[in-house]
Structure 1
Amino acid sequence: MPPESNVAEAARSQLAAVVGRPRAYDGPRTNARPAAVLMLFGVLDSQDSGHEAMDAAVSRDLDVLLLARATTLRSHPGQVAFPGGRIDPGDADVVAAALREAREETGLDPAGVEILGTLEQIPLDYSRHLVTPVVGWWRHPSPVHVVDVAESSAVFRTPVADLLNPANRGSIIIRRGGQEYRGPGFLVPEGDGHQLVWGFTGMLLDGLFDRLGWTEPWDDTRELPLPLA
């Protein structure tokens, strides 16, 4: 295996190759509320994954920044998410919005983040948001933590190899009103327990991993239980 610095650069190059140029934001064009999330990848200083990914570009210390929303929030309480939120009138573009939200939620220094590009905008009908995922590379990582306990209960950097590990993958199935929602789920270690990544965040990770060619065969018939509310 090549030196870790070369492996990390290979992962960064692959990410940069699958994203588009950052989108300009010139105000809302629909009734949807514009929002942005930051999908920030980097290299861990410690706590590498115990899983060796099939793709050589995914080193054991490649990671992505996530947070757990506070359980007291009205919207998606307790769910794992990317830093992000609505675009404010003072934000220059979606990149500025994603970096501002990440700084407000995790305390990171935006100066250490290299923006690689954006993914396609995703409409969320149930919340009437139009979300632009912004993909970044953490050139100079800074300490992160929960800034506001009313917004987040945890901030953590998860090894990508743990997310790709088939043993940590499964499907989330919600049956309600005669309808069934099925989506990807990731069960990953965090602190003394585990965090379940699903919903919008799980969908983004699943789609990006497929696009990168990083996905490993996993059992989509395995059902992961949702945490008790």
Structure 2
Amino acid sequence: MHNFPDFPHDFPGENIELAPDKAPVWMHRLIERIQSGKMRDPLTGVKAGDPSEAEKRAAVLMLFAGSETSFDLPNDASVLLTHRSPTMRSHAGQIAFPGGRIDPTDVNAVDCAFREAWEETGLDRRSATPLAQLKEVHIRATGYPVYPILGHWHSPSPVAVASPHETDEVFDAPVYELIDPANRLMVGWNQWHGPAFKINDYIIWGFTGGLLSAILETAGWATEWDQKRIFDLESTLAKSRNNENLR
């Protein structure tokens, strides 16, 4: 439920058609590679879940902002992220893209991604353009399918915590901070390891970290960073603001 009356109402069913031709020039390479099937695999080795559980499909919104006049990655490029409330039953304390379960009333995955973003952050879907839908990826723990929607926030609107029981912080992460080698690391837990980021004393890892890393690599925005050293995930999270317990 939306908790802040100052935010505009959502507009279900509106702005749900992909419009890749409206992408700013600095996102063209990313769009072209997604459309040609050259997107980096964000979560290698994750198996699909039971097809009978299709009702557990979800969508996430990867919303990038930045100057429309720049040919290269602009200095003000950023991506919208949330910190999931530590009291949540699942994925508590994690940094995530806005998103959630696809409802029967959602027209498609884009409609779901925008609705969830509005419920969590108050995002006005009219301020953003949906550019591409990536191939479905699967949550490692469950195998449930998730449909990532890539968008450009052409007219950034006010956002904040709109659903405190789901998120306790909403913020724009500067892309140049994310690609800084000093803020990138590999983390591991048991037999798993994957890419992670440090931002605002948080750790972005798992599904979101893998997807974000794949986007940056596919777009050609990433720079070289140390992928050989693997940090213990549990101790790394303990030093962060995530307030996340793996046990």
- Normalising by structure 2, report the TM-score: 0.74
Asked if residue 31 in structure 1 is aligned to residue 23 in structure 2, the reply is no
Could you tell me which amino acid in structure 2 is paired with residue 96 of structure 1?
D
How far 1:209 moved relative to its partner? 1.3
Secondary structure at the residue paired with 1:139? coil
Distance in structure 2 (CA, Å) of the matches to 1:82 and 1:128 = 18
Asked if residue 186 in structure 1 is aligned to residue 193 in structure 2, the reply is no
Quick check: 2:193–2:230 contact (8 Å CA) kept in 1? no
Distance in structure 2 (CA, Å) of the matches to 1:105 and 1:80 = 13
Quick check: 1:37–1:133 contact (8 Å CA) kept in 2? yes
The 1:186–1:114 alpha-carbon spacing in structure 2 relative to 1, beyond 3 Å, is same
Distance in structure 1 (CA, Å) of the matches to 2:116 and 2:35 = 21
Quick check: 2:30–2:218 contact (8 Å CA) kept in 1? no
Cα shift readout 1:47-90 (whole Å, capped 9, x = no counterpart): xxxxxxxxx72222100000000000110111000000010000
Distance in structure 2 (CA, Å) of the matches to 1:131 and 1:61 = 28
How far 1:127 moved relative to its partner? 2.6
Partner of 2:213: 206
Q: Give matches, 1:85-96, under 5 Å.
A: 85-96=100-111
- Normalising by structure 1, report the TM-score: 0.80
Cα shift readout 1:156-193 (whole Å, capped 9, x = no counterpart): 00011111000000011112xxxx1101010012xxxx
Quick check: 1:15–1:116 contact (8 Å CA) kept in 2? no
Identity of aligned residues (%): 40
Partner of 1:217: 224
Distance in structure 2 (CA, Å) of the matches to 1:36 and 1:114 = 16
Partner of 1:52: none
Asked if residue 14 in structure 1 is aligned to residue 29 in structure 2, the reply is yes
Could you tell me which amino acid in structure 1 is paired with residue 148 of structure 2?
P
Quick check: 2:188–2:230 contact (8 Å CA) kept in 1? no
How far 1:222 moved relative to its partner? 4.9
Structure 1 unmatched runs, 5+: 1-7, 22-27, 45-55
Distance in structure 1 (CA, Å) of the matches to 2:133 and 2:140 = 20
Question: Once superposed, what is the RMSD of the aligned Cα atoms?
Answer: 2.1
How far 1:212 moved relative to its partner? 1.3
1:67 to 79, 82, 91: 82
Quick check: 1:69–1:154 contact (8 Å CA) kept in 2? yes
Distance in structure 1 (CA, Å) of the matches to 2:120 and 2:127 = 16
Secondary structure at the residue paired with 2:24? helix
Could you tell me which amino acid in structure 1 is paired with residue 34 of structure 2?
V
Quick check: 2:177–2:183 contact (8 Å CA) kept in 1? yes
Quick check: 1:38–1:82 contact (8 Å CA) kept in 2? yes
Distance in structure 2 (CA, Å) of the matches to 1:142 and 1:124 = 30
The 1:69–1:30 alpha-carbon spacing in structure 2 relative to 1, beyond 3 Å, is same
Distance in structure 2 (CA, Å) of the matches to 1:199 and 1:69 = 14
How far 1:210 moved relative to its partner? 1.4
Asked if residue 81 in structure 1 is aligned to residue 81 in structure 2, the reply is no
How far 1:203 moved relative to its partner? 0.3
Partner of 1:48: none
Structure 2 unmatched runs, 5+: 1-22, 37-49
Distance in structure 2 (CA, Å) of the matches to 1:19 and 1:143 = 29
How far 1:128 moved relative to its partner? 4.1
Quick check: 1:68–1:154 contact (8 Å CA) kept in 2? yes
Could you tell me which amino acid in structure 1 is paired with residue 198 of structure 2?
L
